[in-house]
Amino acid sequence: MAVGQNRRMRRGRQRAFTLVELLVVIGIIAILISVLLPVLNSARRAGVQVKCAASLHQIGDALKMYAGDNHAWWPIAKWAPEKTWIAPGAPVAMTWQDFLFPYLHKNTALPLAQFNSDTTGQPELRSDLSKLRGKSPLWGCDAFKNDQYFDETNDIYRYSTGYGMNYYPGAPYPNFGYTVVSPGINELCFYDFYGSVKGRFWKSIEWNKNGANRCVIADANQFWIYTSSSQHFKSNFTCEPFFDMGGTFVRVDGARHLAPNWTPKKVLQGKGINILYADGHVNSASPFETYNATMGGGFDILAP
C-alpha cells in the first residue's frame, strides 16, 4: 500500500506547474492582450463609424422623400419665423431634424414639450428630441458624446443629436464676411426672424450643384455646421474638440471616430468625420475636406 501511494504522489507532483511556468504563461497572456486590445478597439471604432454612415444614408433617403412631398424643396437648417406665422399647436422653431422626422418615423407624432427659452425665459413649444435617443437615425452615431453636448435647457444644444446641417448651400461666397450685411447672408439655409439671418429654403437642384462634393449633413456637436467665413487658411485651422473662433474653423467633430490618443495634428490629417453629400453618398473626410465641402461648396478654397 505504501508503495502505491508513493507512486500516486509522484505522479501528482509531476503534473503540477512550477511558479516560473505560471509566471511565463501569465506573461504570454498579458502580451497577447496588449497586442489584441488595440486591434479590438480599432475594430469597434470602425463598426461604430459604419453604423453612423448607415444612419446618414437613412437621413439622405428622408431628404429625397421630403423633396418629393414639397415640390423639390429641402429642409432648412433652422426655421424660426415670426410668431404670428405659427399655427396653433406647432413648435415656435424647427430644425432640419423636425422636418425629416415624419420620413424617418412613419405614423409617429413628433414629440413636443414646453421649454423655457434661454433668451426670453418664457415657455415655448418645441420638439423634444431627447425622446428619440437610441431610437432614431437622428441619434445614429454611437460615438457622439451626448452627455457633454445635449442640453434641453439651451435653444441650440437641445437640438444636438450628433449631426449638423450645412447652411451654406450657395457656397462659395465671394467676399463673404461675418457682418449681417455681407453679400449672400440672406441666401443662407437658415431663417431666424428675431435674429440676424433671414435666409431661405433651397431646392434639391440647387444643393446638387457640385453635389458629389457638397456637404449636407456631417458629424457635429451642434445641429448646424458653423464655419469661419472671412478666413480660409490651413495654418490657423481648428475644429472640435479644439475649436478656436479666432482663426479658420469648422464646427464638426474631427476626433469622434479616431483613437482616443488623438492630437490636433492627427485630427486634421485623419478622416474622422462622416459626411452625407448632396448627391446622396456618404464618405469619411478630414476637417480640411469638410470645410471645403461646406464653406467651399465642394471646391478647395483653403490656402496654406
pLDDT: which is higher, 98 or 178: 98
Query: How far is residue 129's CA from residue 101's CA, in Å, rounded to a whole number?
Result: 10
Convert the pLDDT of each residue in 201-221 to its tens digit.
Answer: 999 999 999 999 999 999 999
Query: How far is residue 200's CA from residue 160's CA, in Å, rounded to a whole number?
Result: 22
Backbone phi, psi, residue 109, to 5°: -80, 140
Out of 63-72, 177-186, 278-287, least confident range: 177-186
What average pLDDT score do residues 142-155 get? 89
What average pLDDT score do residues 52-68 get? 97
Site of grid cell 467665413 = 229
Position 178 scores a pLDDT of 44
Query: How far is residue 276's CA from residue 157's CA, in Å, rounded to a whole number?
Result: 21
* Residue spans of alpha helices (H) in the chain: 2-15, 19-69, 96-104, 146-149, 204-207, 264-269, 287-294
pLDDT: which is higher, 43 or 285: 285
Position 4 scores a pLDDT of 54
39 has a pLDDT exceeding 90: no
- DSSP state, residue 283: E
Position 7 scores a pLDDT of 52
What average pLDDT score do residues 138-165 get? 92
CA angle at residue 236 from 231 to 240, to 5 degrees? 95
Convert the pLDDT of each residue in 269-304 to its tens digit.
Answer: 999 999 999 999 999 999 999 999 999 999 999 999
Query: How far is residue 25's CA from residue 11's CA, in Å, rounded to a whole number?
Result: 22
196: pLDDT confidence band, cut at 50, 70 and 90? Answer: confident
At position 238, the amino acid (one-letter code) is T
Paired strand residues for 183: none
Position 264 scores a pLDDT of 95
Out of 130-139, 164-173, 223-232, least confident range: 223-232
Backbone phi, psi, residue 172, to 5°: -80, 145
10: pLDDT confidence band, cut at 50, 70 and 90? Answer: low
What average pLDDT score do residues 246-271 get? 93
241 has a pLDDT exceeding 70: yes
179 has a pLDDT exceeding 50: no
128 has a pLDDT exceeding 60: yes
List of residues 6+ apart from 255 with CB closer than 8 A: 240, 241, 262, 267, 272
Position 132 scores a pLDDT of 93
Mean pLDDT of all residues belonging to the chain? 88
Position 37 scores a pLDDT of 65
List of residues 6+ apart from 302 with CB closer than 8 A: 232, 233, 234, 237, 248, 288, 291, 292, 296
How would DSSP label each residue in 250-280? EEEETTTTS-TT--HHHHHHS--EEEEETTS
3-state secondary structure of 284: strand
Site of grid cell 464646427 = 251
8 A C-beta contact, residue 208 and residue 93: no
Q: What whole-number percentage of the chain has pLDDT above 90?
A: 61
Query: How far is residue 48's CA from residue 41's CA, in Å, rounded to a whole number?
Result: 11
Position 197 scores a pLDDT of 85
Convert the pLDDT of each residue in 86-95 to its tens digit.
Answer: 888 889 999 9
In angstroms, how far is the first alpha carbon of the chain from the final one?
A: 90
Cell readout for 169 is 448651400
